[in-house]
Structure formats: structure tokens, C-alpha cells
Structure 1
Amino acid sequence: MKSTIRDVARMANVSISTVSRVLNNPDLVAKDKREKILEAIEQLNYTPNALARGLIHKRTQTLGVIIPDISNLFYAEVIRGMEDSAHESGNNLIICNTVNDQARRLASVKVLSEKQIDGIVITSEPIYPDSYELFRQLNIPIVLAATHSLEYEIPSVRVNDEQAAYDATEYLIRKGHKRIGMISGSTLDPISGLPRIQGFMRALRTHGLEAAPEIRIEYANYHFEESYEAMKKLYAKFPELTAVFASSDERALGAISYLHENRIQVPEQVSVIGFDNTRMAGMSYPKLTTVAQPLYQMGFQAVRKLDQLINGKQLDELRTYMSHWIEERHSVRDININ
């Protein structure tokens, strides 16, 4: 049976409070008593309960992470960065998967609060008024990763999605493409849907191309199957297109799969560029050119920022925008070259 602090106190013939002081402020205990207690701890193989120690220090060294869909490969690298950052700062992570459900998201926050976590990182989702009110009531430090809130003063780490989409579209235009379509998330998604659509449309207008969303854009969630169907619909209404900007890598792979199955060569006939630079981007055929986000660094910095908040340190900036870039592979053809 596992030893308790009471067993240690009995063996060392001291009070429980004295054992607790040795565990948390050993310099406050006389050397002879301290040595007796440490010897008892070693003999009993006693391990202090993390929650009990957390109650003493008002810290549990545990952070919550809320993710909308853990099956999305986007989060693999983000979580790896979070985990490394947490390890560096002496914290542990509890990951909650909300399956894009608002009620489940709020329930996860309440569960994390009951477990006395020190702070929460929320990924990819907007902050609604009911969520913000709950955070305020629970008084839990919050940092946003791959999302932000302009309405509330919540620290965040992300790329500029609108500018990244602009750069992806302009990249295609500079490669000679004018008949460009897009596979996008919903216009109702204020995080990665609408901003990327706005960047796409701005690039078309800047370069004097007709911006007709009803022709150029087809909508789908980020899953492969829906993206496949979106590419089918896009090609049916816009068969003269020579390039597609897909606003996630999984959407891009759905598009490539449809084109391949219908003997439309990529990139010889239709070029495809994705968004995110997940591991799958380098596994596809052809290998996917994509807008790269610094996924690992995003997760790492979000947890670092949260740890600073918890420890009462001044943040360098409230909203951190990380750099993006175009990762060139083989799925985009330069049609300026004869």
C-alpha cells in the first residue's frame, strides 16, 4: 500500500506539518529533524501527492489545452511545441477535445477548473461572450493559440491569416495563373474561414482579376472527404481554372485526389497550393506547395506566454503574430515558363 505523509510523520516522530515544511521549505526545519524526515521518506518510498502540494503553493503545475478536433494533423506539431514548453517550465498538460461543440467546450473549461489547473490554452476557436464570462468568473489565466480575440484583452499567438492567404494567392498569380479557384472554410468562421477568403479576394482585386466568389470559391470543412466533393463542385462550375488555393493542407489533398481520379494532372493542368505545412504536405504526390505556419513554435510560445501570466510576469506583447512563408514543393506549375 502506498505510504502517506502520516506514515512519514509517525516514523520520524514529528508532526505532519513538520513533514510538510521539509517538503516545501526545508530550511525552516532544524537539521536533525530534517534528516530524520528525509530518511523516513526514503525508507517508505514516499511520493508527495501533487494536488496536495499544489494546495500549499496555490499551484498544481498543470495546464489545460482545449482543442476542437484532435484528429486534425494541424494539432500534432502544435501540441508537441506546447509539451516541450510545458516541460521546460515544469508544467504538465491536460488535453481536452471538444469536437467543435460549444457546450462541450464550456464543460471542458469547468472540468479543468475543478482539477485546479493553473491556466488554459485555447486553440483555433473564437471566444464567444458566454465563454469569456465563464473565464472571468473562474479567474483562470487564458492564452489563445492559432486564434485571437479583438473584442477581449486575451493574449494570443497566431499568424496573420488574411495576409497569408493574400500571399498564397499572389504566389499563384506571379506564377502566371489568373483563373484561380479556392476551397475554403465557412464565411461564418472568423478565425480561419473569413480572413483567408478576404486575403484571397484582396489579392485578386489588387492584380486586376475579377473577384467573383460565387464562381471562384467552394466551401467545405477541413475534412478530406468534404474537400474532395468541394473540388468536384468547383471544377464543375469553373472548368477553365488553372490553379486552386485550398485553405488547409487536408483540403488541398482532397482537391488533388479528385483531380487525380479524373485524370486531371497536377500541376501540369491544375496547380494546387495548401495552407498549414502539416507533415502530410510532404507525403502527397505530388508533394504539396503550401503556406507554412510555424506550428511547433506557435504551441511553444503559447505555453510560455501562459506560464508568464501565471507567474505574474509582464508580457512583451498581447497579440503575437508569427511569420508565415511559402514552402515550395511540386504541386504548383509556373505557366510563365514556356
Structure 2
Amino acid sequence: MNPTIKDVAKKANVSIATVSRVLNNLTGYSDKTRQKVLRTIEEMGYQPNMIARGLISKRTQTIGVLFPNVSSSFSSALLHGIEEFAYNHNYSVVVCNTDEDGKRTLKCLQVLREKQVDGIVFASEQLKDEYYKVLAATGIPVVLVSSETDHPGIPYVKVDDRAAAYDATEYLIQKGHRRIAMIGGTESDPLAGVPRVEGYMKALTDNGIPFQEDYVVYGDFGFDSGCAAMEELLSRSLDITAIFAASDEMAIGVLSVAVRLGIRIPEDISVIGYDNVKLAEMVAPPLTTVNQPLSEMGSTACEKLIDMIETGLIAQHTIAPHHIVERQTVRTLD
């Protein structure tokens, strides 16, 4: 017969409430007591009955996470932070792939509602009115990450995309570059596509460099689109010295095409990316990029969500910091 929480409390010589508080990472006991309870749990092989706990608390200790592309390096980094924080606070995570352009978002929201998740982290996608109406009807707490909204009661965690793109472009300008092309993300994307191009344009204007429309091409933030965008830029016979790509995956696509065509990076063309995913330091040459703290953003979003679940209070928005990570794909012009 499996040991119960009552058995653990009796053997550890503490109250059932204390065992419960230790299991849920709550306060109100000493570290010595915590160690004793955890040691007893391990010795007895106690496994909390999540169903029974859910019946008492009316919670499932489960949160849902929605991504438009689960397999991307960007999503993986965010998910790492979400899962780490959730695990440390005794929550499980259910991940849904909403597909490109949110084709399956409403279906995913229905699935998460049926699974009775306690809250939802909505990542990297615009919270359309139709999604908001569904969420508002369920009353399930929601936190956005790498997204934002004007809808009330929904906090978000993201970087300032315009400011980060501005800084990336100005970094190239400070290195002596004036003929700077940009590979933007999805052209109609209001979250990261449009703001990053706007940041690029403003940096040019503020430094007295005329904006040239044919210096901008668009991808979809993915590797293949970065390759296609690089080929498009080269086909235009532009006398560019640097490229700012709105994602690391697109920047790596630029590097791939450059290697194939014998273009030297950074001797012939400098490249800067955006995100600072793990692959950015693994490619050759290692990619200079804009760091947004993806894992930390995921962790912060999860922390806000669990706090909302357990207190009923609405969390505040968080603008995460960004900075340039210098590696080996940008050179200083003489």
C-alpha cells in the first residue's frame, strides 16, 4: 500500500499541514524541518496524489503553454525557463503547438480548458480578440511572453523590440557601417516583425543615413527564410557592408548562403542577429547578436502566472533587458 501524507507526517514527527507546505514550496517552517520532511518522503517513496489534491484545492497543478513553433530554438529557450520554474513549484506543463499564424490556437485553447489547466502562458503570438473572448469566458489566468496586449488583466513579459533593433543597427553604425541591409521577420507581424524594422529605420534616420526600401527584405524568422532573404539581397546587387537579421535563425541562414557562395563573414559582409539562442555561439564564425534573456523571460512569465493562480491578483507587465553580445561576425570598417 502506498504511503499517505499522514504517514509521512507521523514518521517525520510534524503536522500534515507542514508536509503539505513543504510539498508546495510554501513558507512557515525551518530548513531543518524541510530537510527532514524531504528525507522522509524519499525514504518512504511517497508520491502526492495529484487528483486528490486537485479535488481539495480545485486545481490540477498544471499550466498550459501555447507556442506557434515548438521546435524553434527560440521556443525551446523560453520553454526551458517555464518548465524549470513550474517544476520547482510543483506544477506540470502541457505544451500546445498552435502552428504558423495560429491556425490551431482556438483548438488548443479548447483542449487546455478540457484538461482544466490552472493557467496559460501564451507565447510569441498576438492575442487576437477571438482568443481573448474565449479566455475571458473561462476565467483562466493568462500571462503573455514575447508578446503584448492592451486587453485588461493580462500581464506580459517581453523586451522592447524597437529599442533592441535600434541598438543593433546603431552598433553597426558605430562600427563604421552605413550601407546596412535588414532581413525583417514576418512583414505583417505587429509583435516583432514591424517593431524591429521600425527600430532599424529610426537608427538610420537618427544617424543621418537615408532609409532605402530595397535594403529591406522579409522572412518568417526561420532558417530557410534567412537563406532565401540573403539570396534576394544578393540578387539586387546592393553595395552593402552589413546585414541586421531580425532573428538568429535567419542570421544563420545568411551565414550558410555566404559560405556556399564564398562570401567571407565578416571580411566581406558583417552580420548581426537577434535573440542569442544557443546556436548563435555554435556556428562558425560565432554570431554577434542581440541578447534577449529567453529562459529568464519564460521563468518570469511562469512565476507571474503561478502567483496569479494562487493569489487571484493581477501581475504587472515586465520589460526584460537586452544587450549586444559581441562575437565574430561584425568587423570595424577603416
- Where on the TM-score scale, by shorter chain, does this alignment land: which range? 0.7 to 0.9
| Alignment partner, residue 252 of structure 1 | 251
Worse-matched range after superposition: 74-83 or 271-280 = 74-83
Structure 2, unaligned runs of 5 or more: 5-16, 22-44
1:174 and 2:201 matched = no
Q: Is the 8 A contact 1:287 1:329 kept in 2?
A: yes
Deviations 1:195-251 (A, max 9, x none): 1010000101111111122x1101111221221111111122252000000000010
| Alignment partner, residue 277 of structure 2 | 278
| Alignment partner, residue 287 of structure 2 | 288
Question: For residues 266 and 46 of structure 2, what CA distance do their matches in structure 1 show?
Answer: 63
Q: How far 1:261 sits from its partner (Å)?
A: 1.4
Question: For residues 184 and 101 of structure 2, what CA distance do their matches in structure 1 show?
Answer: 20
Question: For residues 274 and 192 of structure 2, what CA distance do their matches in structure 1 show?
Answer: 10
Work out which of the residue numbers 324, 328, 331 in structure 2 matches 1:330: 328
Give the aligned residue type for 1:290: T
| Alignment partner, residue 194 of structure 1 | 194
Measured at CA, do residues 115 and 51 of structure 1 come closer, stay the same or move farther in structure 2, by a change above 3 Å?
A: farther
Give the aligned residue type for 1:197: V
| Alignment partner, residue 97 of structure 1 | 97
Q: How far 1:102 sits from its partner (Å)?
A: 3.0
Deviations 1:117-168 (A, max 9, x none): 1000010000100000000111110000111113444100010011000000
Structure 1, unaligned runs of 5 or more: 6-20, 26-44
Aligned-partner SS, 2:318: strand
- The aligned runs of 1:94-173 (5 Å cut-off) are 94-173=94-173
| Alignment partner, residue 184 of structure 2 | 184
Q: Percent identity?
A: 41
- The aligned runs of 1:291-302 (5 Å cut-off) are 291-302=290-301
Q: In angstroms, what is the RMSD of aligned CA positions?
A: 2.4
Question: For residues 205 and 101 of structure 2, what CA distance do their matches in structure 1 show?
Answer: 36
Aligned-partner SS, 1:232: helix
Measured at CA, do residues 24 and 307 of structure 1 come closer, stay the same or move farther in structure 2, by a change above 3 Å?
A: closer
Measured at CA, do residues 47 and 294 of structure 1 come closer, stay the same or move farther in structure 2, by a change above 3 Å?
A: closer
Q: Is the 8 A contact 1:158 1:322 kept in 2?
A: yes
Give the aligned residue type for 2:320: M
Q: Is the 8 A contact 2:68 2:102 kept in 1?
A: no
Q: How far 1:24 sits from its partner (Å)?
A: 8.1
| Alignment partner, residue 241 of structure 1 | 240
4+ aligned runs moved over 6 Å, structure 1: none
Work out which of the residue numbers 298, 316, 319 in structure 1 matches 2:317: 319
Question: For residues 229 and 103 of structure 1, what CA distance do their matches in structure 2 show?
Answer: 24
Aligned-partner SS, 2:126: coil
Question: For residues 238 and 150 of structure 1, what CA distance do their matches in structure 2 show?
Answer: 42
Q: How far 1:308 sits from its partner (Å)?
A: 0.9
Measured at CA, do residues 313 and 137 of structure 1 come closer, stay the same or move farther in structure 2, by a change above 3 Å?
A: closer
